[in-house]
Structure 1
């Protein structure tokens, strides 16, 4: 049975969506990822979406959603990806294992910053998810 992971950040428009898509594309045989934000912006960052499309990892079901929509899901792991120095990471109320792997928000920066964030997630986040859940 697949394990459930929640990727949590502030706006749920960029980093958490990228992580959700990456995890589902690369570890989808053992993990189902969802993402959410405390102040969900309601829209996916177009550069993040374009990057995921170019990698063949975008799915139309990915969208920016508030934490209330996922509160009833029994997650095995919650990962906060906020840049802890600049943002307050949300807390997930259910008592599940929570880890923090922070990434700077590329929103509003040059397009190559999105690629850098993606690469860092692949190097730093994926191995942790794999070790914890696969």
Structure 2
């Protein structure tokens, strides 16, 4: 399925007010949520739709307390690029599944103390 490179492309904006940052962030978040079923179908993922939406929420929540407007502008530009690449099917399946590795292998990401690492030979 050929895609137009400009499909879903947005120009980069310089955010000038916190209200504008909030509006743009909510707009991007809603675009991702609405496209979640499409992403599920395109990448033939065998995870529930609720898990995809939950992971999207987590990714947005990670940046929740960023207050610097230039940083928010960059994050929104990266988010829009990520959205375009994902929905246009320009990513490999592994790039999508990297977001879900923590749920599938929780023991790998568990916090370990020095003694645990020492006994495993990784300290």
> Could you tell me the TM-score, scaled by structure 2's length?
0.30
Higher helix share: 2
Q: Mark the structure with the bigger radius of gyration.
A: 2
Structure with bigger strand share is 1
Higher relative contact order (CA 8 A, sep 6+): 2
State the TM-score, normalized to the length of structure 1.
0.28
